[in-house]
């Protein structure tokens, strides 16, 4: 089969393209932004790329066009596909039909922690010798790739609640049919497609409806929004995890201020300890869910703890991009106030009283709409200094929301110039964005040479 993928350089669609190639399909694709690192990964896999969306790029031998959720009506390629009556399908549905059928799918869902949790879970299964396949919205350092077909029935997937395609407004995760499901947490997000929290909860309820009765749901016992979803109806055994030790099954006792050591507790009984490289109690919470999910497919607890001790993290999740002149520069994907707060708290616990400068690009659609503006200042409270990038298309006043808490700029060059004037040896610069942020990390490191 020859498939042509629209929006191929996105993390999900690029990963799907590589999986399809590994499965023996002929693959090509189009995207507006064909640039590294995804473009290099795809070209190395032997996938032909076209920049822009042009009808001429459709291969006459194309059997099916796989449509990413960035595509909309009016796009020249979409119009060509519809006018010529070419077979088309969404990315999640193609994945379900061709790669996930007869696989034991382990899905990681929730507002936060999906990428880290699915990366941990894939690594634990790999460490246990299960050789899983996976598709993750980031690059786990233990693997160096975001997607792999695998050599066993097990497949780990980051289960996103965002909508599927312009013709399918259900959440992506409804196509994955998980047998083991992690529910990390649930908050209002994606205000561009969901009217309110209840609309997201309805999608999560639909997800719970398709988990087999012989499967397992691993759920955050501290999250009232998830409990409300379970109360809508649940036909699958549930195991809870909790940092407050209120869960019936899995909990943890922190052995360090920064979350780099914890004791695992199951039904009140300590089962072992883990010292690892990850920061923050949110990652300890991720680890609890992963241990429970891995146990469901037969991985002993002690083996999971050993695997997590060797987990190297995920690119763009508290990733140290470099050190210059005694100044450490970090890259993190945080873009929701809760994620920002936990990221800042984790680093603060690690560095103690050293100076922490937070640099934030409020880039997500929800952030740009101002939905979370009231929570933004508190989410950055543990930083010593805050710098915000304010793009031209913001629908609210950053200055008003931050109440003189931040220095505000509208260019990366101005941010770097300000940092060069204010940074000193021993400082930590935490840069947070769900985009490339204009290459600010490398530009700052180069300027500090």
Strand, helix or coil for residue 328:
strand
User: Residues 369-394: what's their mean pLDDT?
Assistant: 81
Could you give the dihedral angle defined by the CA atoms of residues 184, 188, 191 and 193, in that order, rounded to the nearest 10 degrees? 60
pLDDT value at position 310?
A: 97
Peptide bond into 37 cis (omega under 30): yes
pLDDT value at position 193?
A: 83
Is pLDDT above 80 for 191?
no
pLDDT value at position 397?
A: 73
pLDDT value at position 449?
A: 85
pLDDT value at position 302?
A: 97
CA distances from 212 to 182, 207, 236, 434 (A): 14, 11, 6, 34
* CA atoms 388, 391, 392, 395: torsion sign: negative
User: Residues 145-166: what's their mean pLDDT?
Assistant: 95
Rounded Cα–Cα distance for residues 325 and 22 (Å) = 44
pLDDT digits (tens, 9 = 90+) for 294-315: 999 999 999 999 999 999 988 8
Q: By the 8 A CB rule, do 416 and 315 touch?
A: no
Is pLDDT above 70 for 403?
no
Rounded Cα–Cα distance for residues 302 and 317 (Å) = 25
Is pLDDT above 90 for 367?
no
* CA atoms 153, 155, 161, 166: torsion sign: negative
Is pLDDT above 90 for 189?
no
pLDDT value at position 188?
A: 84
Residue with tokens 């999640």: 92
pLDDT value at position 37?
A: 72
What would the two tokens of residue 205 be? 């309820």
pLDDT value at position 245?
A: 67
Rounded Cα–Cα distance for residues 137 and 157 (Å) = 9
pLDDT digits (tens, 9 = 90+) for 250-280: 999 988 888 899 999 999 899 999 999 998 8
User: Residues 107-115: what's their mean pLDDT?
Assistant: 93
Q: By the 8 A CB rule, do 91 and 12 touch?
A: yes
Higher pLDDT, 37 or 449: 449
pLDDT value at position 153?
A: 97
The region of weakest confidence among 136-140, 213-217, 296-300, 434-438 is: 434-438
Could you give all domains of the chain from N- to C-terminal order, each with its CATH number? 2-90 (3.40.50.720), 102-309 (3.40.1190.10), 319-447 (3.90.190.20)
The region of weakest confidence among 29-43, 190-204, 358-372 is: 358-372
Q: By the 8 A CB rule, do 354 and 374 touch?
A: no
Q: Would you place residue 409 in the very low, low, confident or very high pLDDT band (cuts 50, 70, 90)? A: confident
Rounded Cα–Cα distance for residues 64 and 430 (Å) = 43
Q: By the 8 A CB rule, do 220 and 240 touch?
A: yes
pLDDT digits (tens, 9 = 90+) for 50-88: 999 998 888 777 899 999 999 999 999 999 999 999 999
Is pLDDT above 70 for 426?
yes
């Amino acid at each position: 089969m020859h498939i042509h993928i629209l929006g191929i350089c996105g993390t999900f669609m690029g990963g799907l393209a590589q999986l399809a190639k590994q499965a023996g399909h002929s693959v090509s694709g189009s995207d507006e932004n064909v640039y590294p690192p995804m473009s290099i990964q795809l070209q190395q896999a032997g996938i032909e790329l076209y920049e822009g969306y042009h009808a001429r790029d459709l291969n006459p031998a194309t059997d099916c066009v796989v449509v990413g959720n960035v595509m909309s009506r009016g796009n020249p390629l979409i119009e060509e596909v519809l006018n010529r009556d070419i077979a088309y399908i969404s990315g999640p549905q193609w994945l379900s039909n061709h790669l996930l059928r007869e696989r034991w799918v382990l899905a990681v869902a929730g507002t936060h922690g999906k990428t880290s949790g699915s990366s941990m879970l894939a690594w634990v299964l790999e460490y246990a010798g299960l050789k899983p396949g996976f598709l993750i919205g980031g690059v786990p350092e233990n693997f160096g790739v975001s997607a792999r077909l695998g050599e066993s029935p097990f497949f780990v997937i980051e289960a996103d609640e965002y909508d599927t395609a312009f013709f399918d407004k259900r959440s992506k995760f409804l196509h994955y049919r998980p047998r083991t499901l992690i529910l990390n947490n649930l908050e209002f997000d994606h205000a561009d497609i969901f009217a309110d929290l209840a609309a997201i909860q309805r999608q999560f309820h639909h997800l719970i409806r398709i988990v087999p009765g012989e499967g397992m749901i691993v759920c955050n016992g501290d999250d009232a929004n998830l409990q409300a979803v379970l109360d809508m109806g649940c036909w699958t055994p549930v195991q809870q995890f909790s940092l407050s030790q209120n869960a019936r099954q899995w909990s943890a006792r922190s052995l360090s201020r920064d979350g780099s050591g914890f004791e695992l507790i199951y039904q009140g009984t300590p089962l072992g300890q883990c010292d690892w490289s990850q920061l923050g109690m949110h990652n300890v919470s991720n680890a609890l869910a992963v241990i429970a999910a891995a146990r469901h497919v037969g991985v002993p607890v002690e083996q999971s703890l050993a695997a997590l001790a060797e987990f190297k993290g995920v690119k763009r999740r508290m990733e140290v991009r470099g050190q210059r002149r005694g100044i450490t520069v970090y890259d993190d994907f945080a873009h929701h106030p809760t994620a920002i707060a936990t990221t800042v708290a984790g680093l603060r616990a690690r560095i103690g009283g050293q100076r922490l400068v937070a640099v934030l690009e409020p880039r997500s659609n929800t952030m740009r709409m101002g939905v979370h503006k009231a929570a933004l200042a508190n989410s950055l409270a543990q930083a010593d200094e805050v710098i915000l990038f304010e793009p031209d298309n913001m629908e609210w006043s950053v200055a008003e929301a931050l109440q003189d808490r931040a220095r505000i700029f509208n260019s990366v060059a101005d941010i770097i110039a300000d940092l060069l004037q204010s940074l000193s040896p021993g400082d930590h610069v935490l840069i947070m964005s769900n985009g490339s942020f204009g290459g600010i990390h490398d530009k700052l490191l180069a300027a500090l040479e």
